[in-house]
Amino acid sequence: RLSLGFQNNVIGLLFVKDLIFIDPEDETRVADFVQIFGRGVHVVWPDDKLGDVLRELKPGKSHMALVRDVNNNDASVDPFYEIKGIITLEDIVEEILGDEIVDETDAFVDGSHAVKVDR
């Protein structure tokens, strides 16, 4: 998944697999591509409860949400929305289980130590 936008103004998500439909020679504009394939961004707040976020993500439209907060640290600048990070459905399930979910894309040194290997 790729976020579309600039810094704290993310307007949508793009799945890399959708790019297979684009012919580079067509010089398709990003705006046109987003109209067809872009997906909305789900936004949550840092003080949202995990159970509430789970209920929002569970129906399946998105397994990921941006965590957004108001930045009012500098009194000389008007407060603005800032993206603090992302949270995934997998993150929430791992917190509930109290254990990490290991899938086929995770790489470890060996099966007995949960030390991730950079690819």
pLDDT over 90 at 52, yes or no: yes
Predicted TM-score (pTM) of this structure: 0.66
Rg, Å, the chain Cα set:
18
Domain with CATH 3.10.580.10 in the chain: 43-119
- Residue-averaged pLDDT of the chain: 80
Q: What is the mean pLDDT of residues 45-71?
A: 89
Centre a 10 Å sphere on the Cβ of residue 87 and count the other Cβ atoms it contains: 22
Between 102 and 113, whose confidence is greater?
Answer: 102
Q: Given this model, what pLDDT does residue 116 score?
A: 59
Does the domain at 43-119 match CATH 3.30.465.10? Answer given as no
Strand bridging mode 108-110 / 80-88: unpaired
